Structure 1
């Protein structure tokens, strides 16, 4: 009899250890299933393409970003496209009247419409050396768009292909939600079973 009780306790201890090692947290399961969609929606936007404000030719992108000058309403890029032309005539430009920071600049032109987009600093005081060798664009003269932000699509073609309608999408989303709820319900049930086994081990 004593040997039988010892064997039963050993089996219960083995079961308890097994469930401790593979314990399932229903809250974690729910976060995995329903939290993934929220993370996808909050994902970062793609690169930004800067275009001429008039003729819409691309002039650069955010992968060449070097900084911004809020007080002058400008952005700085390290590289630009061939649609940007650098003027040949230097001119004096005063960055700040209070500090009297005179610079030599070259204007930047759009190759398509010849409009002025910004400037390149050819010579600057020491405190403005960070502006040299960069392309400074006037925010008022350019536009931008985010890659991957387009939403318009052509309807699917072919006898076997069906366009994804709002009704079909709603059905699929409903089925996915039901499957997720089923998994969460199973996780809760496993928690209850685990708790029952734990109580049995404690009583033994």
Structure 2
């Protein structure tokens, strides 16, 4: 539940089944990410996959959730996918007026976008920030597993794909039926001729 509240607080964008982003308010985000809260308050939310906001490669998921940074509009993950590259160059980052830290950037392997950072050196009071992946909410999107709704209408329970073998089988059956019909028509014609000849003799 805490993860859901933090995601909503930061207004993390949702992505539909085709990964097209949409800007929505917090109520719409709550409905899209977590379903109808009033109807399914006791049910569990599906896992959330976090993806690069630009190229849509997956970078992590909510099973690695470690919290959020309210003041910096960031989320924290304990683990990330191989699509995330940890930079090598340290840069200075000030958390507060007297809290200078060294950080390295988190870079998307697919499009080279900077998605967040990792604290490489901190004052003792901020040591808890190390060894965690910080993602900027503005640079990532999310997708809830199990949220897909679109389905193709099935034509019947015995529906099967049209393959070359299936097509050949159907054509063979049609040929056999055609021959049977022709044979029956010929036999019927012979019967009719026999009846006519019988009538003529009478």
Q: Give deviations 1:153-194, integer Å, cap 9, x for gaps.
A: 122244547xxxxxxxxxxxxxxxxxxxxxxxxxxxxxxxxx
TM-score (norm 2): 0.57
Q: Give deviations 1:112-154, integer Å, cap 9, x for gaps.
A: 1100000010011112111101100001100111111110112
Does 1:59 pair with 2:67?
A: no
- The aligned residue for residue 110 of structure 1 is 108
Q: In the TM superposition, what are the counterparts of 1:72-91 in structure 2 within 5 Å?
A: 72-91=72-91
Q: 1:133 aligns with which of 125, 131, 137?
A: 131
In 1, Cα distance between the equivalents of 2:69 and 2:58?
Answer: 21
1:54 Cα shift? Answer: 0.5
Runs of 4+ in 1 over 6 A off after TM superposition: none
In 2, Cα distance between the equivalents of 1:107 and 1:146?
Answer: 26
- The aligned residue for residue 175 of structure 1 is none
Q: Give deviations 1:60-84, integer Å, cap 9, x for gaps.
A: 0010011110001111101000000
- The aligned residue for residue 26 of structure 1 is none
TM-score (norm 1): 0.56
Q: In the TM superposition, what are the counterparts of 1:1-204 in structure 2 within 5 Å?
A: 41-42=40-41, 43-97=43-97, 100-158=98-156, 160=158
In 1, Cα distance between the equivalents of 2:102 and 2:38?
Answer: 48
- In structure 2, the gaps of 5 or more residues are 1-36, 160-202
Q: Give deviations 1:38-75, integer Å, cap 9, x for gaps.
A: 99744221111100011111000010011110001111
Equivalenced residue count is 122
- In structure 1, the gaps of 5 or more residues are 1-37, 162-204
In 2, Cα distance between the equivalents of 1:126 and 1:157?
Answer: 66
